[in-house]
Amino acid sequence: MADLERVLKRIDEDLDQSLDRLFSLLRIPSISADPTFKADCRRAAEWCAATLSEVGFEASVRDTQGHPMVVGHYTGAGEGAPHVLFYGHYDVQPVDPLDLWETSPFEPSLAEVEGEKRIVGRGSADDKGQLMTFVEAARAWFAETGGLPVNVTVLFEGEEESSSPSMIPFLTANAKELTRDVALVCDTNMWNRKTPAIATMLRGLVYDEVIIQAASRDLHSGLYGSAARNPIHVLTRILADLRDENGHIKIPDFYEGVPELSDEQKASWDRLGFDQAEFLGGVGLSVPAGERDRSVLEQIWSRPTLEVNGIVGGYIGEGAKTVIPAKASAKVSFRLVGEQDPDKIRAAFRAFVTARAPEDCKVTFLSHGGDRAVSQPTDSDFVQKTRKALSDEWNTEAALIAMGGSIPIVTQFKRHLGMDSVLVGFGLDDDRIHSPNEKYNLSSFHGGTRSWARILGELGAGKNLA
């Protein structure tokens, strides 16, 4: 039996144990955005390093100013073989609203829903489940052949869900160790349950928080109503003013650097047969929001967006309180495309808000990070070989798609290490990442592990990748 076949057979036979290992990782509440879970983030890093070591890598936990990195190395494929960097993240999103979870977020389970098996729990899809597809594929190669077909450096971070403040310093300080022929990034979706995909366009992100302070303290609405400025009124009016009646964003020069789709791209996307009614209907909606003159697929893949991700002010408990709050705040994020400049967008947003605040209100902003959009070359040998491996595993041509979500690491690899990325992931649109009841299909986990086994084999098959 050829190496690859033995590796795939082992993956199939070992599936239950693979799941047990994934569940161990899912049980660690490594919420990076919340300082309460700092020790849990470290625990997750240590678990990852120990697991990589057990599999066959030389691995270690590497301290940063924030949550630690995990780095692993395998160089046994020799100097002639390609050397790839695999990236994933072990941190997860916060779990609120907790009351909407049907199971406890950090007590993972395997559920059978509508005839398919699902791994349920925070991080199952984003990104622990995905990360483990690669680790389990490597485990099978090591176990069957004593090594991997290519040289591999592994980089797991613990701050992906909280703007990766330590990533650039870490990349810069360890550029020699981390700069490889290409990065393999596993944090994206399949096109659908049967069709694997390589994401070649990724939007950027600007995340900002605005806090409007009016009076020096909370006021009684019966004593001060109307006459005293209510910061909720100020904030809601400004937020409402950000968009016109056609859904276009009114911030001056916002659309600078936004490219139109080429006819070829348009045609290629049309062939995917995207069903917008099904897409919206799947989450209980029927009326497309956003720009009226753009299709839903354009909006989620190639158009910039503005979303208010959170708003709070005044009394939010049960019942009634007749208060005029002293302050109100909102979290606002933008997805960027093409050449849109995150710094310019942030500055223009802040100017837009500040210009509309009354002079006796104090406006404060907090930056929660940002990065440019990025496009990856689709004609490299790495992409072509990856596409072949995926197509072999899933018995259908892998799609080359755009992604609406921002994956800043791809920009950072390009900018700081000069390294391109190949984005392959096995998530599905209904995985509920960042939401209650996050899940990862067993078919994603199993097929993803098999896919990485094939990709490693394919990349190692030729020596002259470029």
| Interaction residues for a copy of itself, span 416-455 (CB under 8 A) | 429, 432-437
How near is the Cβ of 29 to a copy of itself at its closest, in Å? Answer: 14
Six token digits for residue 159: 């701050």
Single residue of 98, 100, 267, 277 touching a copy of itself by CB under 8 A? 100
Tracing tokens 């929001």 back to the chain, one arrives at 289
From the number of C-beta atoms within 10 Å of its C-beta (0-12, 13-18, 19+), residue 355 rates as: exposed
**Residue closer to a copy of itself (CB basis): 411 or 449:** 411
CA pair distance 108, 141, nearest whole angstrom: 27
Six token digits for residue 419: 């390294």
* Contacts with a copy of itself, 199-228, as mask; x by CB under 8 A: ----x-x-x-x----xxxxxxxxxxxxxxx
Residues 171-190 that bind a copy of itself (CB under 8 A): 189
How crowded is residue 45: how many other Cβ atoms within 10 Å of its Cβ? 25
Single residue of 110, 111, 143, 239 touching a copy of itself by CB under 8 A? 239
Residues 335-364 that bind a copy of itself (CB under 8 A): 335, 358-360
Residues 126-145 that bind a copy of itself (CB under 8 A): none
**Rg (Cα) of the chain, in Å, rounded?**
23
- Give the binding range for a copy of itself (CB under 8 A) out of 131-139, 306-314, 344-352, 446-454: 306-314
Single residue of 291, 371, 393, 458 touching a copy of itself by CB under 8 A? 291
C-alpha dihedral (137, 380, 338, 168), degrees to nearest 10: 50
Interaction between residue 319 and a copy of itself (CB under 8 A): yes
Cα separations in angstroms, 337 against 165, 195, 298, 300, 350: 22, 25, 11, 11, 20
How near is the Cβ of 203 to a copy of itself at its closest, in Å? Answer: 7
User: Nearest to residue 333, comparing CAs of 364, 354, 305?
Assistant: 305
CA pair distance 321, 347, nearest whole angstrom: 36
**Residue closer to a copy of itself (CB basis): 8 or 428:** 428
Residues 381-410 that bind a copy of itself (CB under 8 A): 403-406
Interaction between residue 33 and a copy of itself (CB under 8 A): yes
Q: What is the DSSP letter of 259?
A: P
Residues 255-284 that bind a copy of itself (CB under 8 A): 276, 279-280, 283-284
How near is the Cβ of 436 to a copy of itself at its closest, in Å? Answer: 7
Interaction between residue 108 and a copy of itself (CB under 8 A): no
CA pair distance 357, 213, nearest whole angstrom: 10
